[in-house]
Amino acid sequence: MSWEQVYEQWVNDGNLEENLKQQLADLKEDPEKLEDAFYAPLEFGTAGMRGILGPGINRMNIYTIRQATEGLARFMDEQDDNTRRRGVAIAYDSRHMSPEFAMEAAKTLAKHDIPSYVFESLRPTPELSFAVRYLKAFTGIMITASHNPAAYNGYKVYGQDGGQMPPADADALTTFVRSIDNPLEIQVLSDEEVEHSGLINIIGEEIDTAYLKEIKTVTINQDLINEMGKDLKLVYTPLHGTGKMLGEKALKQAGFEKFALVPEQAVADPDFSTVKSPNPEEHSAFEYAIALGKKEDADLLIATDPDADRLGAAVRLPNGEYQVLTGNQIGALFTEYILAAHKQAGTLPSNAAVLKSIVSSELPTAIAAKYDVAMLNVLTGFKFIAEKIKQFETDHSQTFMFGFEESYGYLVKPFVRDKDAIQALVLLAEVAAYYKKQDKTLFDGLQDIFETYGYYAEKTISVTLSGLEGPAKIKAIMSKFRTQAPSEIGGVKVVQTEDFKARTIMGLDGNEAKMTTPASDVLKYVLEDESWIAVRPSGTEPKIKFYIGVKGENQKDAIEKIAILEKAINEITGD
């Protein structure tokens, strides 16, 4: 069926939601946007789906939500009745249509006689992960587009362990979703039927209380917080998202008294009206926090993204200004503090392990080695960290201490199986208190780490290639790197090529070794001077990402190495 035929199907549907009907009428005057909305279904993959709000099969709307949930319901219908009756936990963030999408998902499940547990109001993604485990639900749905701009929303599916659904189940679910030809024909329970069904259960306070109880275990040195918590000056912004309620409570129960919320950004706002992008990776997201930090003479500024699974931070410099840290730098600060604090307390297990993604900094690897702790690399995507935690619990081979991704995702305690910015918020405040007791800032602490382990630096370059031609361009770039593998980059010899799709490692001697990780469309090049470059398509956005990691003799040397490699990448890709 052509996109024009699909469009006509929508236009002629007498039951189409009025708001979408009006948007369709407006799109009629813009053929290019109209084609983009209907040329192909919104991609549903292992991370769920994410897209621009609006009418069409390539947009987020109640019908594409129904389609995704109908696929999930059919997947659950294949399970035994006891498994089905465990139901689905559903949470949502502060975005446009998030509450409506959550209820549409619940009503679609109810049509299949599958119970759901829907939060009464917006909640963070990590609490949804926790809720799946706490309620012993079969699966979970999170309505969120994470840190994307206001025009987006999304749909993420979680497995019964609270992690994002594992590949085998995700592939089966995706098959069911893609087998549905017309999302307009999917039936849901009416509001009247919902009232009498008893299938949609509203949850809230009980889960909050249980989650916050577990958050207490994130604190490593309570005596330190008791001593310094009243003096540490912290500014926190939830960037108009879900982090405020639980973040504020978590800080207070840990013992941090002098924290200030950025008032303009403490209010849930689907338009994210004070920021260009509600992304703690972006320096501009800290504009209001920096202004308040200077007024309060704050030691540390912390921001969480709209669904509170990612955390960013800015540290005070000697001149009174603030510097936004990278995700890798925060990961290094966490790794050093967690391992040092546990070693000092005598609670560092002999089989301790830290987990990180293959595109994250090697600085935490050097830190772990000092403490004789294993560092294990996994594919990008926090579900792979969750899988390793599950393995540790099964075979007792390692004890999980910390997991992180360079993209500002951290997990301290495994009562959640996804990135958890609420956990990170509490622990980063503790790390800041540790350095404050020594009359140091987190900036000073980071310099101590560099002086001890070496000057590591990283940079991520994201290239957005949206529209009809975007996927083809991304494939072409990956193909070019794969078929014309560089022997040197930026004048430095490539000593090892890692192809995670072919699952091969090729050294200078030409010998090929096999990887044990699952296949993934990632290429990584290790250079003679310990620098490395990785390239991969984004799993959730129309982007291709390049990752650069270097180790320099000093900060200036590291920055220069980054610049040389970035220029080389641009030359290879033709930019």
Q: What is the mean pLDDT of residues 227-255?
A: 97
State the pLDDT at residue 165: 86
Q: pLDDT at residue 467 above 80?
A: no
Residue 485 pLDDT grade (very low, low, confident, very high; cuts 50, 70, 90) = confident
Distance CA 363, CA 339 (A): 14
DSSP code of residue 185:
G
- The three-state secondary structure class of 511 is coil
Residue 494 belongs to what H/E stretch?
strand 492-499
Distance CA 489, CA 504 (A): 20
Q: What is the mean pLDDT of residues 90-104?
A: 98
Active-site residue, 179 included:
no
Q: pLDDT at residue 203 above 70?
A: yes
- Please say whether the beta carbons of 216 and 254 come within 8 A: yes
State the pLDDT at residue 86: 98
State the pLDDT at residue 465: 83
- Please say whether the beta carbons of 418 and 386 come within 8 A: yes
State the pLDDT at residue 23: 95
pLDDT per position as a tens digit, 451-465: 999 999 999 988 888
For the chain, percent of residues with pLDDT exceeding 90: 86
State the pLDDT at residue 463: 85
Length of the chain measured in residues: 575
Distance CA 359, CA 517 (A): 14
In DSSP notation, 158-195 reads: E-TTSSBPPHHHHHHHHHHHHT---GGG-----HHHHH
Comparing CA positions, the residue from 136, 106, 278, 111 lying closest to residue 202 is 106
Comparing CA positions, the residue from 43, 242, 246, 245 lying closest to residue 155 is 43
Comparing CA positions, the residue from 423, 428, 420, 94 lying closest to residue 275 is 94
Q: What is the mean pLDDT of residues 359-385?
A: 96
Q: pLDDT at residue 278 above 70?
A: yes
- The three-state secondary structure class of 137 is coil
State the pLDDT at residue 483: 87
Residue 398 pLDDT grade (very low, low, confident, very high; cuts 50, 70, 90) = very high
Comparing CA positions, the residue from 248, 554, 201, 291 lying closest to residue 425 is 248
Residue 574 pLDDT grade (very low, low, confident, very high; cuts 50, 70, 90) = low
pLDDT per position as a tens digit, 51-75: 999 999 999 999 999 999 999 999 9
Query: Which residue is catalytic, options 98, 116, 146, 407?
Result: 146
State the pLDDT at residue 168: 83
Comparing CA positions, the residue from 199, 89, 200, 198 lying closest to residue 136 is 89
Which residue(s) pair with 52 in the sheet?
Answer: 152
State the pLDDT at residue 66: 98
State the pLDDT at residue 462: 86
Q: pLDDT at residue 313 above 90?
A: yes
State the pLDDT at residue 470: 81
Distance CA 520, CA 34 (A): 33
Distance CA 159, CA 48 (A): 12
Distance CA 297, CA 141 (A): 40
Quick one: three-class SS letters along 187-211?
A: CCCCHHHHHHHCCEEEECHHHHHHH
Sign of CA dihedral 261, 266, 271, 274: negative
